[in-house]
Chain A
């Protein structure tokens, strides 16, 4: 357990509405990530953060923005949701030590109607 929670766990919204997903970690890790997962595509990186107020784009960042105002929270915002953003969203952190890799949260299932 990497101490990662995501909220909400499920959300249904309508096209054109803004949506914010929250990732919260309890272990003070510097690196945090947002992925989306769709059938046939595996996990694709949307954005990541390497510190408070430090973020960068991943391979599928169009239509998404992120913010990180404190270490423990990484927010993903869909400014105007579209049906193509219906997906499962996973947050991850990078934890170093004996195993130096990413650990994932439980996911948020988002449906845009």
Chain B
């Protein structure tokens, strides 16, 4: 399972766009990149998943360069309720490999 590296913490003011970058140098050809959000005392919540280029949903955007060795989660116009820990993971299903390895995540603090 590919290892990921992301900043331990970030601060942002309300209303700003936040970009959290994750590096995954050993990503395999079949790996997807998945981001989760976790609030205190809750289970991780799926935010977005991508394989290459750009993916956007109602919550976030995910940018993946051509070499796929990194990815950037973009949260537009954050609010106080976006204060959480964000995890970047790489992994894949199929061929008996249905596992993900969680790192320590990035603790995002949104400041009023």
Instruction: Please report A residues at the B interface, Cβ cutoff 8 Å.
Output: 31, 35, 40-45, 48, 50, 88, 90, 92, 94, 96, 99-107, 109
A-B pairs with beta carbons under 8 A, tally: 52
Q: What A residues does B43 contact at CB under 8 A?
A: 90, 92, 104-107
- The answer on a CB contact under 8 Å between A101 and B99 is no
Q: Name 6 interchain pairs, CB-CB below 8 A, sorted by A.
A: A40-B104, A41-B104, A42-B104, A45-B101, A94-B98, A100-B93
Interface residues of B, dominant DSSP: loop
On chain B, the residues within 8 Å of A90 by CB distance are: 43-44
Contacts A42-B104, A48-B99 known; A103 to B46 CB distance under 8 Å? Answer: yes
Q: Mark B43-70, 1 if CB is under 8 A from A, else 0.
A: 1111001000000000000000000000
State whether B45 touches A104 (Cβ < 8 A): yes
Which residue in A50, A94, A104 is a CB contact (below 8 Å) of B44? A104
Q: Which residue of A lies closest to B91 (CB)?
A: A101
Binding site for A on B (CB under 8 A): 32, 34, 41-46, 49, 87, 91-93, 96, 98-105
Task: Determine the chain B residues whose CB is within 8 A of the CB of A92 once the complex forms.
Answer: 43
* Residue pair A42, B98 in contact (C-beta under 8 Å): no
Starting from the known contacts A100-B32, A101-B49, 5 additional A-B residue pairs (CB-CB under 8 Å) come to: A41-B104, A42-B102, A45-B101, A90-B44, A101-B46
Query: Which B residues touch A31, using CB under 8 A?
Result: 98
Which residues of B are found within 8 Å of A44, using beta-carbon distances? 102
Q: How far is the CA of A43 from the CA of B34 in the complex (A)?
A: 15
In the complex, the 6 A-B pairs of residues with the closest C-beta atoms, listed nearest first: A104-B43, A43-B102, A42-B104, A31-B98, A94-B98, A42-B102
- For the complex, what is the distance from the CA of A41 to the CA of B104, rounded to whole Å? 6
Query: When A100-B32, A100-B93, A107-B41 are in contact, do A45 and B99 touch as well, CB less than 8 Å?
Result: yes
